[in-house]
Structure 1
Amino acid sequence: PLGLIHPVSEVGHLDKGAIRLTVNGEVKQDADLTELIWPVADVIAFLSTLYRIEPGDLIYTGTPAGVGAVVEGDVVTVTIEGLEPTEVTIGPKAAD
């Protein structure tokens, strides 16, 4: 799942701030944007030398320690300081 896409013109360049993921209220991941190997602006600058980056494009950079399985019914909440939280409930597995 993805949260809302926020234009830089509205939220600024996020280079620091807490990133937290909880499952059923239990903290599973807790980090800060300052812990990224490369700042977000550097990632965008580098990738834009290789590809044309356009509004709405998504860049995945990895995730903090604490990744784990979730099961049907789990409520997963992601917060990034300065942005609205994203919450999803894990639904049943799709039929094959």
Structure 2
Amino acid sequence: MAAGGIATIGAAAGGDDDGGERPITGDALDRAAAAALEHTGGGAVTATELGDEEGYYEVEVTLDDGTQVDVHLDRDFAVLGDESDGAGDTED
């Protein structure tokens, strides 16, 4: 699964919605994506951000069920926490 997620990075790394976000690039992108995918147990990286307010790096991972998880990392690529949009949740 990690290979599929990393293959998606090229498209995700260059895009942002409002022009104010800086994508992660280079070796840092590979390391941040690997850390995020390990944390989520797979999925596809769909966006990245350098200098996120919750950490040094933010990696958005879309899981197989459609849930999007923002994984926040420090400068050393250690996971600080995550936020889910809950798309895969089944709560009423």
Report the TM-score, using the length of structure 1 for normalisation. Answer: 0.24
**Bigger relative contact order, structure 1 or 2 (CA pairs below 8 A, ≥6 apart):** 1
* Structure with the higher fraction of residues in helix conformation: 2
- Flag the structure with larger Rg: 1
Report the TM-score, using the length of structure 2 for normalisation. Answer: 0.25
